[in-house]
Amino acid sequence: MLKTIIEHRTIRKYNSKAVSEDILNKILEAGYRASTTGNMQVYSIIVSKTEENRKKLWEIHFKQDMILQAPLLLTFCADFNRFNKWCRQRDAEPGYDNFLSFYTASIDALIASQNVALAAESFGLGICYLGTTTYQADKLIDFFNLPQGVIPVTTLVVGYPDENPGLVDRLPAYGIVHEEKYRDYSKEDIDKIYKLKESLPETAELLKINNLPNLAQIFTKNRYTKKDNVHFSKVFLKAITEQGFMNNE
């Protein structure tokens, strides 16, 4: 398992080979055996396999071609709907219509998704997380007919790889791990932590393509702009509110 974790590669090109029901069921079981808050399992997993539905989801997820290539799309939802119904059927009035409950359910869903990702990779499958799930939450709510108390938080593309990319760079341990208490970063620390990433040939190529002087500006000016972040924050907060997770009383 450690080898699977350390050798993780995000796959963006897939062949059309089907994933057997046996393997699918095993990787899904890995998901619902994950750690969960209070053993409540306040999440759901929606499996999309048909070409018709994947084409519609391709449209929603900004037309990323891997969605059409891979045979599986797994959408992980924060889900208090099921738990709330169980509580009410047992004369126990739930109090889970608030932001904390949304956050709790989102954590559960994300832990389950990572278990699924690791299990899939252990069977030789490739995976890719789709950040567009939160950007397009309102459209996904409509597409999946999600009731109150349910909201999508992440999506996994799953299938057999049609590429073998190299390992992606990661920040060094001293840039991430803190002993006992948080140690804030000096200017020298920042330079040291990002030195390798900034010196990669891939980074030099990105600077040419984007016509920008450094990698940080690629993130702030082109990839994840403030304008987009504010816009999609409003969209997602509206979706969270309309799905019944923002009661402050």
The share of the chain scoring above pLDDT 90, in percent, equals 98
The band of 120, judged by pLDDT with boundaries at 50, 70 and 90, is very high
Here the tokens at position 85 are 């119904």
Cα gap 114→66, rounded to integer Å: 19
The rounded distance, in Å, linking the Cα atoms of 119 and 124 is: 9
> How many other C-beta atoms can be found within 10 angstroms of the C-beta atom of residue 198?
14
The pLDDT value given to residue 236? 97
| Mean local confidence (pLDDT), 192-198 | 97
pLDDT of residue 101: 97
Q: Which CATH superfamily is domain 2-166 in?
A: NADH Oxidase (3.40.109.10)
pLDDT in tens, 72-108: 999 999 999 999 999 999 999 999 999 999 999 999 9
Task: Decide if pLDDT at 196 tops 90.
Answer: yes
What is the domain partition of the chain in residue ranges? 2-166
Q: What is the pTM of this model?
A: 0.96
User: Which residues have C-beta within 8 Å of that of residue 161, sequence separation ≥ 6?
Assistant: 11, 13, 14, 15, 125, 126
**69 and 159 Cβ atoms separated by less than 8 Å:** yes
Query: Mean pLDDT of all residues in the chain?
Result: 97
Residue 234 in tokens: 């409003």
Alpha helix segments (H runs only) across 61-98: 66-69, 81-89
Q: 126-130 and 43-48: which strand pairing?
A: unpaired
Residue with tokens 């398992």: 1
**Per-residue pLDDT band at 1 (split at 50, 70, 90):** confident
The residue type of 184 is: D
Considering only CA atoms, which of 244, 240, 239 is closest in space to residue 95?
244
Chain segment 123-161, per-residue pLDDT in tens: 999 999 999 999 999 999 999 999 999 999 999 999 999
Q: How confident is the model at residue 248 (pLDDT cuts 50, 70, 90)?
A: confident
User: What is the structure's pLDDT at 31?
Assistant: 98
Whole-number pLDDT of residue 249: 79
Residue 85 is predicted with a pLDDT of 98
